[in-house]
Amino acid sequence: MSAPSYAPAPGHAPDQATARPHTGPTAAELLEFALRTASDPEVIDSLPLDPEGRTWVRLDGPGGSEAWLIGWPPGTGTGWHDHAESRGAFATARGRLTEHSLAVRLPSEGWQSLELAAGHDRSRSLGPGSGRAFGEYHVHEVLNPSAAEHAVSVHAYYPPLPQIRRYSRTGPVLTLEHVERPADWE
């Protein structure tokens, strides 16, 4: 059985009656925090680096947000995922990260597998001092493509992460594999 194809309807906007009121820091404010923190050598140098796996330290984010300092050994990555209802941002402090993302908002529930229409893949390279802000349900993967250099980055999310949904991807087919809750990564 093939997966249903998904492409957004032209001009489709979320139902305003179900939109949540704006509270907490905006994605732009989270990005400003991530960039400022990524430029602080004392904070960046405080992260212990492990040559075998990613390392992380929780930070105090702005306005009740959740923030993390993350170390990326060469060749490591997150796999495809989203941050559910949280908006977020990240900035590279050292090394270079690559983000692959989808330029389409997927339905937040009611599906297990989708076949993505052509033209929705995006890729960007983020070196030291550069960053990225994103909205809710942003599906992406982040990786350190270097074969030799560790990367370090700062990430912030608001509201604090209620869950992370993990996906597998085979060509245009994106499949929801599992959902992680905060207790899974703390």
Structure confidence by residue, pLDDT tens digits, 66-96: 999 999 999 999 999 999 999 999 999 999 9
Containing domain of residue 137, as a range? 24-185
* H/E stretch holding 166: strand 164-170
- Is position 112 within any domain? yes
- Count the domains in the chain: 1
The pLDDT assigned to 13 comes to 34
Q: State pLDDT tens for residues 113-156.
A: 999 999 999 999 999 999 999 999 999 999 999 999 999 999 99
> Looking at residue 42, which CATH number applies to its domain?
2.60.120.10
Structural domain includes residue 61: yes
User: What pLDDT, in 10s, does the model give residues 25-58?
Assistant: 999 999 999 999 999 999 999 999 999 999 999 9
- Give the pLDDT band (50/70/90) at residue 5: very low
Distance CA 183, CA 186 (A): 5
Residue 75 falls inside a structural domain: yes
Distance, in Å, from the CA atom of 164 to the CA atom of 82, rounded to the nearest integer, reads: 6
What would the DSSP string read from start to end of 2-45? PPPEE-PPTT----TTTPPPP-S--HHHHHHHHHHHHT-HHHHH
Q: Let me know if residue 15 belongs to a domain.
A: no
Q: Which residue, 151, 156, 103, is CA-closest to 127?
A: 151
CA distance 27 to 158: 8
Does 12 carry a binding-site annotation? no
DSSP state at residue 147: S
Helices then strands, counting H and E runs in the chain, come out as: 3, 13
What whole-number distance in Å separates Cα of residue 117 and Cα of residue 75?
A: 28
8 assigned to some structural domain: no
Query: What is the structure's pLDDT at 94?
Result: 98
Band the pLDDT of 18: cuts 50, 70, 90: very low
pLDDT at residue 182 greater than cutoff 90: no
| Amino acid 39: pLDDT | 98
State the residue for tokens 């990613």: 54
- Token reading at 77: 């990555």
Beta-carbon count within 10 A of 170 CB: 9
| Residues 60/181, Cβ–Cβ less than 8 Å | no
pLDDT at position 22 is: 60
CA distance 116 to 6: 5
Q: Is 140 annotated as a binding residue?
A: yes
Is 83 one of the annotated binding-site residues?
A: yes
DSSP 8-class letter at 77: B
Q: Is residue 19 part of a domain?
A: no
**90/68 Cα distance (integer angstroms):** 9
